[in-house]
Amino acid sequence: MAHRPKRTFRQRAADSSDSDGAEESPAEPGAPRELPVPGSAEEEPPSGGGRAQVAGLPHRVRGPRGRGRVWASSRRATKAAPRADEGSESRTLDVSTDEEDKIHHSSEIKIPDAAFIQAARRKRELARAQDDYISLDVQHTSSISGMKRESEDDPESEPDDHEKRIPFTLRPQTLRQRMAEESISRNEETSEESQEDEKQDTWEQQQMRKAVKIIEERDIDLSCGNGSSKVKKFDTSISFPPVNLEIIKKQLNTRLTLLQETHRSHLREYEKYVQDVKSSKSTIQNLESSSNQALNCKFYKSMKIYVENLIDCLNEKIINIQEIESSMHALLLKQAMTFMKRRQDELKHESTYLQQLSRKDETSTSGNFSVDEKTQWILEEIESRRTKRRQARVLSGNCNHQEGTSSDDELPSAEMIDFQKSQGDILQKQKKVFEEVQDDFCNIQNILLKFQQWREKFPDSYYEAFISLCIPKLLNPLIRVQLIDWNPLKLESTGLKEMPWFKSVEEFMDSSVEDSKKESSSDKKVLSAIINKTIIPRLTDFVEFLWDPLSTSQTTSLITHCRVILEEHSTCENEVSKSRQDLLKSIVSRMKKAVEDDVFIPLYPKSAVENKTSPHSKFQERQFWSGLKLFRNILLWNGLLTDDTLQELGLGKLLNRYLIIALLNATPGPDVVKKCNQVAACLPEKWFENSAMRTSIPQLENFIQFLLQSAHKLSRSEFRDEVEEIILILVKIKALNQAESFIGEHHLDHLKSLIKED
């Protein structure tokens, strides 16, 4: 028999205290120590000679005050001490099963049956009814122990909490009790109460099964010991159901049907797996035939690494590129400001000198006229440069040049040498920007070739990545390096179409595969995007800070580049509109500033300008032709700027405000007619293409009236032949009604043919 675990008890709902279940309540003075229990001696003989020491196992002791119970906690040890006044252990009872009991029970292997338990319970109830307590006499130890076990099995017989005896003192313990208490405490602290309850139930069930099994084995052994071995024989009296061929056939058919259904389900699964295998093989073949994934991955990885390295290279070089651009821009700006300031200073000093000279002539005709040294030095410098230009024109055979139409952009030799030296240093820095860089990362043609390979191998991923939008940003620093020495204000500057980057981009665009898809046509916009994001902003800077509208050469060169940019490569208006509008606004703003700051035509008395060799007359002529030169330069923008803008600037602000006033102050004659012819020659022919026009544009009304006045004066003078020139001017600017009226008024019938020919 297995060792019995410590017995624990489940706590009832009526439990309200956690008293120490091992303690025995001491008896009150005068109370009897032992009480006889009738009939208990016959139930179980006392073990160990009728006396036993109190063991460290949980137990209950009935007090003399009636029913009561003490819980055996799983975390406390049982305590039972003898009376101190007795002086011996003879009065101490072992109310639990000791070692001898265990040996005795294990040897006998006797389990009480239900009848025995019921008889013991009736005897216990009878004893309670007679004496109201259970005797603790030594002679009835086993009986009390048996009753205690019965009480443990009977939860209804346990006393309530208020009926327990409350111990006020602790009894001394023996060494054996203390050792047992410490051992039990260590063992019980390692387990939970719930586990102990389960073990208790399991143990009880196991003991019952073992007892039954042992009894059966004992009976078998006894029967075998008698030598009567019995052999089981087939009982012929047992009858089986009748079996015929139909039943067997039916069962076989049923079994066969089940097997066939199972087989068919397996066939269906097999066919499904075969189809899956075929589909997988087909997918593998398609993937292998369509593209090599390993090579594709390798290509994409190489492109990724290449683009990352390219971006790192450009990010590192962009700062140096910006510094070089700023240096070149500052150098050109310094030169432009030098020319502008010199022209304004010379104009101011020369005008002041002539005003002083006029006042001197009005006040007195005699006396010395003194000029300060600075003004004298400036006038000498002006005359020196004019003399050099005249000599150069004579050598070139240009005899029709008018004074005042020169740009006057000559620099002293020392300043020119310094400028060229600074420009050369900047260009040397430009060459060293990508000196140590491989061609694959600084040559535009090689970079575009990489993306062209991507487009040819994997066009879908190429267009899905919007490479056409990224290429202008990648090429921006490289193109800016090539544009450092590009000056669109010089006639000898390289055209955009002749630049290496322009040709490379055109080749990249031409090699793109023609397709109707929208993405495919995006490469056609690469050049337009580059011009929009790189070229136009640079042109705008030249216009705002460096362009001199009074210079015909600068204006002509600038217009040439602007026509290429704005007309031939403005394929996408929505993308180019903003930068294009910014450029055009800068052009208009710069010309307005030139009209307000650089045009100055003084008015002198006729006595001062009658002599064509006088300083006043020469200065006035130069200023008029300078204003007329600006008028011509403004109208050169015809086709790029709107007609309303040109008419407002050229006709409204310049012709009517400055040139007409100077013409009205002049004496009618061949010179005036010549100037009028020059004004009419500057007007765009597009403005007068309408054959049904009989009246010119409104902004030319003042000019037409001046022509009619000059014609009236010339018709009565010796310069009658000049009237025909004036009529031709009127016809050219579509002032036909005014010309016919003038011819009819002065009876110039021979000039009517001029109007009819038109």
Contacts of 422 (CB under 8 A, 6+ apart): 331
Count of CB atoms situated within 10 Å of the CB of 487: 17
Q: Alpha-carbon distance 103 to 94, whole Å?
A: 16
Contact yes or no for 345/378 (Cβ under 8 A): yes
Count of CB atoms situated within 10 Å of the CB of 306: 15
Q: Alpha-carbon distance 210 to 204, whole Å?
A: 10
What is the identity of the amino acid at 455?
R
Q: What one-character-per-residue DSSP string does 279-305 give? A: HHHHHHHHHHHH--HHHHHHHHHHHHH
DSSP designation for 27: P
- Alpha helices of 364-443 — where are they, by DSSP H? 373-396, 413-431, 439-442
**Positions of the chain with pLDDT lower than 70, given as ranges:** 1-110, 129-173, 185-194, 217, 219-237, 240, 288-292, 360-371, 398-399, 401, 513-521, 568-577, 756-758
Task: Tell me which residue of 660, 654, 665, 667 sits closest to 603, measured CA to CA.
Answer: 665
Return the pLDDT at 580: 87
Count of CB atoms situated within 10 Å of the CB of 251: 10
Q: Alpha-carbon distance 584 to 748, whole Å?
A: 47
Contact yes or no for 98/55 (Cβ under 8 A): yes
Contacts of 646 (CB under 8 A, 6+ apart): 634, 635, 637, 638, 684
CB-facing half-sphere around the CA of 717: CA atoms within 13 A: 13
Quick one: residue 580, left, alpha or beta (phi over 0 = left, psi -120 to 50 = alpha)?
A: alpha
Q: Alpha-carbon distance 346 to 338, whole Å?
A: 12
Contacts of 415 (CB under 8 A, 6+ apart): 338
Q: What one-character-per-residue DSSP string does 657-709 give? A: IIIHHHHHHSPSSHHHHHHHHHHHHHS-GGGG--TT--S--GGGHHHHHHHHH
pLDDT digits (tens, 9 = 90+) for 183-197: 776 666 655 666 777
3-state SS, 438-451, equals: CHHHHCHHHHHHHH
Write out the two tokens for 508.
């990249």
CB-facing half-sphere around the CA of 94: CA atoms within 13 A: 22
Q: Alpha-carbon distance 405 to 628, whole Å?
A: 8
pLDDT digits (tens, 9 = 90+) for 657-694: 999 999 998 888 888 999 999 999 999 988 988 877 77
Q: Give per-residue burial for 155-170: e unless 16+ CB within 10 Å, then b.
A: eebbbeeeebbeeeee
Own/partner pairs, 440-446, CB within 8 angstroms, 24+ separation? 440/306, 441/309, 441/310, 441/313, 442/313, 442/478, 444/475, 444/478, 444/479, 444/500, 444/501, 444/504, 444/505, 445/500, 445/504, 445/507
Write out the two tokens for 606.
């006729």
Rounded to 10 degrees, the C-alpha dihedral 98/103/108/109 comes to 80
Write out the two tokens for 684.
């765009």
Q: Alpha-carbon distance 22 to 54, whole Å?
A: 10
Write out the two tokens for 47.
């073990």
Return the pLDDT at 320: 95
Return the pLDDT at 172: 64
Return the pLDDT at 166: 58
Return the pLDDT at 245: 87
Q: Alpha-carbon distance 611 to 361, whole Å?
A: 14
Q: Alpha-carbon distance 65 to 164, whole Å?
A: 8
Axis-axis angle for helices 293-363, 444-457 (nearest 10): 140
Count of CB atoms situated within 10 Å of the CB of 568: 13
Return the pLDDT at 17: 39
If 0-12 CB within 10 Å is exposed, 13-18 middle and 19+ buried, where does residue 272 land?
A: exposed
Return the pLDDT at 541: 94
Contact yes or no for 635/650 (Cβ under 8 A): yes
